[in-house]
Amino acid sequence: MKIYELNASEIHKGLRHKDFSAREVAQAHLYRIEQTDKDLKAFVTVTTEQALRAADAVDAKMSRGEELHPLSGIPVAVKDNMCTTGVKTTCSSKMLESFVPPYTATVVNKLEQAGAVVLGKTNLDEFAMGSSTENSAFFTTRNPYDLERVPGGSSGGSAVAVAAGQAVIALGSDTGGSIRQPAAFCGIVGVKPTYSLVSRYGLVAFASSLDQVGPFARTVSDAAWALEALAGHDPLDSTSVPNAPVDWSQPLDKGIRGLKVGVPREYFADGMEPAVVKSVREAIKVFECLGAEISEISLPHTSYALPTYYIIAPAEASSNLARFDGVRYGFRAEGATNQEELISLSRSQGFGPEVKRRIMLGTYALSNGYYDAYYGKAQKVRSLIKQDFDNAFSQVDIILSPTSPTTAFKVGARVNDPLSMYMADLCTFAVNLAGIPALSLNCGFVEGLPVGLQLMGKAFSEMMLLQAAFAYEQTVKLPQLPVFKGGLPNV
């Protein structure tokens, strides 16, 4: 087995037994990037020298006989909307194409302190606004299962890096499904934590009441290791919760006998691909065979999640992105004769079409005379959506659904149809509106393309979700690496 095919626990074991060095692990993944990324285009920036220095530091630590953190020497990739000192953070936008932050995001600091080896920054839909990674100002990332298809978004680069063996773990951000949907399209595990469990300090804000950072991995146990390292109070993030009630000492192999599992009828509505529904229904049967108690439930306000999200998220984006004005940092247009013209030209030229579309939607929703009718009402509906989940979790422990209504669609198929693109996250919006945790894992294939199964839980129930996902993963044992279409080298 090649080094890039190993998961984190296998690499950790190999390092401890001196089967290979941390430098060899880093070099194997950097070579994998070199050989495959001309086709996949997962990375915006590869930090080769920095990665090798970090790997050498792990090797030096081992030579001194020091204990290794489970993530020491593990190659990781970081979505390029998380700040990194001395390394460009572009948000895949012309607006920040040359921006080098003076500080590092807390989540990246935590991984580096654990000894993880950061390989580089991954491509995304510009400012995390999109569901296919086609909105990047630089290039479109391709799905490793089929190069003619999208990897999902907005964290498509991170999902592809993990799925293709370019990295073992990657960080993404999830505002309305941007970790879970690409995880589903790429056949890997993606975790969206409870809002406030993981620090947002250093994450370039899209919608501050919805954004969360979480990990991608090829196995549930790798995702659990990463999430445990990321979680915890951060005084630099005012929304970070002190003493979050997650017991990380629980074993993943606890089993799920007696677990009460709800299946929401609203998540199996018209428009779902029949083959996707079939795969998810078969996964639910596996949970039943493992001893879970399955019952149908209702989340009655589900149909309002999409319009609610597309009022709240653009409104917050309109506010957050107002700082990019060509005056202080970022892209500055040339030829302006006064400050008003400078700001207008810089924002017109620096932002892409989708970002401008959402800024305009958000600004309109917040404008005088429309605030109560749109933003105020959306917040009230958001409360009803959260109430639906609260009521459901008084009856069940977790909720299962498809992650996406479809498998990965073809590149270009929805570029000119924004509403169709927005529907790709139909099953994921409500989780962010409610602030609860959820994860996606692979539950099968349709014509060679992965299908995602979404597990949702009440606030701070991450361990329960991971245990349930682990039980399913160990029972079904689906392949972790894709059989590439399109001629990617197996190096």
Residues with Cβ within 8 Å of residue 182, at least 6 apart in sequence: 133, 151, 152, 153, 154, 155, 156, 158, 159, 160, 172, 190, 216
The DSSP code for 8 is H
Task: State the catalytic residue, choosing from 21, 41, 72, 79.
Answer: 79
Judge contact between 359 and 314, C-beta under 8 A: yes
Task: State the catalytic residue, choosing from 178, 221, 346, 404.
Answer: 178
State yes or no: is 121 an active-site residue.
no
Look at residues 221, 145, 211, 137 and name the one whose alpha carbon lies nearest to residue 172. Answer: 211
Rounded to the nearest angstrom, the gap between the alpha carbon of residue 201 and the centroid of all alpha carbons in its chain is 16
Judge contact between 191 and 414, C-beta under 8 A: no
Would strands 449-457 and 398-402 be described as parallel, antiparallel, or unpaired?
antiparallel
Order of strands across the sheet that contains 398-402: 43-46, 117-122, 75-79, 169-174, 212-217, 189-192, 438-446, 449-457, 398-402, 260-264, 293-297
Task: State the catalytic residue, choosing from 131, 132, 154, 196.
Answer: 154
Rounded CA-CA distance 288/407 in Å is 24
Place of tokens 């029949």: 274
Rounded CA-CA distance 55/476 in Å is 34
State yes or no: is 131 an active-site residue.
no
State yes or no: is 461 an active-site residue.
no
Q: Which residues are catalytic?
A: 79, 154, 178
